[in-house]
Amino acid sequence: MQTVYYYFGLPQINCCSSVTVGLEGKLDSSGANKIVNQSLLDYYRIPMDSLGGVSLSADAAAGDAGFFHFGQGNICYGRCASGVAADLAGSSAFNAAQHVRRNGIALQLPFDFTEVVENLRQERYRQSSPRGIERFASTESIRKLYYLTRNYLPFEIRRQLQRIYFYDWKRVSFPAWPVDLTVDKLHEHLLRLTMEASGVKKLPFIWFWPEGAPNCLIMTHDVETSVGRDFTFNLMDLDESYGFKASYQVIPEKRYHVTDEFVSRIRSRGCEFNIHDLNHDGNLYLERKEFVRRAIGINSYARKYESRGFRAGAMYRRQAWYDTFEFSYDMSVPNVAHLEPLRGGCCTVMPYFIGGILELPLTTAQDYSLFHILNDYSIDLWKQQLALIRGRNGLISFLTHPDYLIDERTRKIYELLLIHLREMAARDNVWLALPGEVDRWWRARSQMKLHQKGNYWLIEGPGKERARLAYAVLNEGRLVYELAGTPGREYTTTIPTV
């Protein structure tokens, strides 16, 4: 297998220097934190010996978790030695960036960076900021009543009830609408601080997407009813006419009958078949014992259909229970969930691991939310979200439903989206992928490493032939990403930092 080298044309970095980057809040007897911060290293896949010996550690924060800032607009949730607010409204009074201590090349943060990132990704901040109507609607009795009567309620009444539930969505300040980039900005901010402390102006890392693609785009379709099931292949024809393949998430029990022919026909056309809940009654995560019983059934369907991906009904989720699943990847966590029954959001546009499961966050608004909650029959919101995601080189993920695209009006809007995406992908070399392909790539990238050999950087690990070297460059207080070594496809993404 051919070795991949990249010449970086800078003074050679001392390969024997060490980097101590540890933010787990566990201090040894000497007071120095020796645990490597995997969150920062895994996000970028930077070489561990490339920061000139900078030491990055954290205070052992005690007390209750709360809200605070780390830089302008970067809202965090966790424990922080410099103080936290009990709610979002008071968080701006506690800016941890003002309490970062620097002594030469040693940096000390007043909080555990990894803890804060995981709190955001796993939506642990939700427990401190639930809405009254959400608490009421999420109770077992109310949810059961809704799903029992749902099929008997006229569509207009259901839609009106949903609009009442979401009446205050514009007043939800966190996560940020229409795309929240907090986790990504936190990583960039911390990387900039460590580069400034070490004096490194140009830091190599393994680019996020294969072949140097600026972004990745996946199309997914959840099949809600028998009517949607019967329209599946019409939607597939429409997607294919614009050059797109998609994954189809199918409900295995009660809603409609799933035949082996239906499954094989989806796959025969190059699309993916995944599991969508068990019966989509809204009760998957209500109680642990019942969840385990249902998860056993879900896992059995995954084995039966050889499905590697999953999405829960109505985007319900409880990440602490994911270890019961046998899937390779999940797609149930929105980036920002202002228009989902369960508010929150993972605050990132990048895939991330929850234990052994890779999460592919939903980073754009669902078609149902756009058309029936916002009453917006245009692609303007989708375009706005695309611009924000593309500016961070993130995962562009769409969720639409054959059930809601049967109507000619909505289908025409969806077709406008396909036209826009096709032009964007062709112009800018966006990677059009299936979720399973993203899962395989992200897992491969997570095992790749960068090593210096003379004046070259060497990418090692399975799948390295598709990987590309990139640089994080400090440019007048701004962090700039530069893709290296691919003639005709080099570009720079400028990312402002604070």
Lowest mean pLDDT among 148-152, 185-189, 234-238: 148-152
The pLDDT value recorded for residue 40 is 83
Largest CA distance in the chain: 71
* Segment 468-481 mean pLDDT: 91
Q: What is the pLDDT of residue 14?
A: 31
Q: Which residues contact 460 (CB under 8 A, 6 or more apart)?
A: 448, 449, 450, 451
Please state, in angstroms and rounded to a whole number, the distance separating the CA atoms of residues 107 and 193.
Answer: 8
To the nearest whole number, what is the mean pLDDT of the chain? 87
State how far the Cα of 411 lies from the Cα of 420, in Å rounded to an integer. 14
Of 207, 220, 252, the C-alpha closest to 398 is 220
Q: Token pair for residue 394? A: 């993130």
Q: What is the pLDDT of residues 135-165, one digit of tens each?
A: 545 555 666 666 666 666 787 887 778 888 8
Q: Is the pLDDT of residue 113 over 60?
A: yes
Alpha helices in 340-471 (DSSP H): 367-368, 380-390, 408-428, 435-447
Q: Residues 393, 209: contact at Cβ < 8 Å?
A: yes
Query: Mean pLDDT over residues 53-70, rounded?
Result: 82
pLDDT greater than 70 at residue 88: yes
Residues 345-353 have a mean pLDDT of: 98
End-to-end CA distance of the chain: 43
Proportion of the chain above pLDDT 70, given as a percent: 84
For the stretch 24-41, pLDDT in tens is: 333 333 333 434 367 888
Residue 449 DSSP symbol: E
DSSP 370: I
pLDDT value at 482 more than 50: yes
How many CA atoms are closer than 13 Å to the CA of 175, on its beta-carbon side? 32
pLDDT at position 131 is 56
* Beta carbons of 325 and 310 less than 8 angstroms apart: yes
Counting Cα atoms < 13 Å in the Cβ hemisphere of 464 gives 20
pLDDT at 164: 84
C-alpha–C-alpha distance, residues 470 and 193, integer Å: 19
pLDDT of amino acid 341: 92
Q: Where are the alpha helices (DSSP H) in 259-351?
A: 260-268, 288-305
Q: Which segment of 129-138, 142-151, 298-307, 383-392 scores lowest on mean pLDDT?
A: 129-138
Cα(274)–Cα(332) distance, integer angstroms = 12
Per the model's pLDDT, the better-predicted residue between 218 and 53 turns out to be 218
Buried residues in 179-215 as b, exposed as e (16+ CB within 10 A)? bbbbbbbbbbbbbbbbbbbbebebbbbbbbbbebbbb
Q: Give the pLDDT confidence score for residue 477 in this predicted structure.
A: 80
Q: What is the pLDDT of residue 137?
A: 53
Q: What is the average per-residue pLDDT within 192-210?
A: 92
Identify which of 25, 125, 87, 43 has the alpha carbon closest to the alpha carbon of residue 344. Answer: 125
Sign of the CA dihedral running 48, 50, 52, 56? negative
DSSP track, 330-345: E---BSS-TTSSS---
Identify the pLDDT of residue 258: 98
* C-beta neighbour count of 60 within 10 angstroms: 14
Model pLDDT for residues 434-443, shown as the tens digit of each residue = 999 999 999 9
In three-state secondary structure terms, 29 is coil
490 pLDDT band (50/70/90 cuts)? Answer: very low
**How far is 293 from 275, CA to CA, in rounded Å?**
16
Tell me: domain 210-441, CATH 3.20.20.370, correct? yes
Rg of the chain on CA atoms, in Å: 23
Per domain, the residue ranges of the chain are 10-125+174-201, 132-167, 210-441
Lowest model confidence (mean pLDDT) among 14-23, 42-51, 200-209, 276-285: 14-23
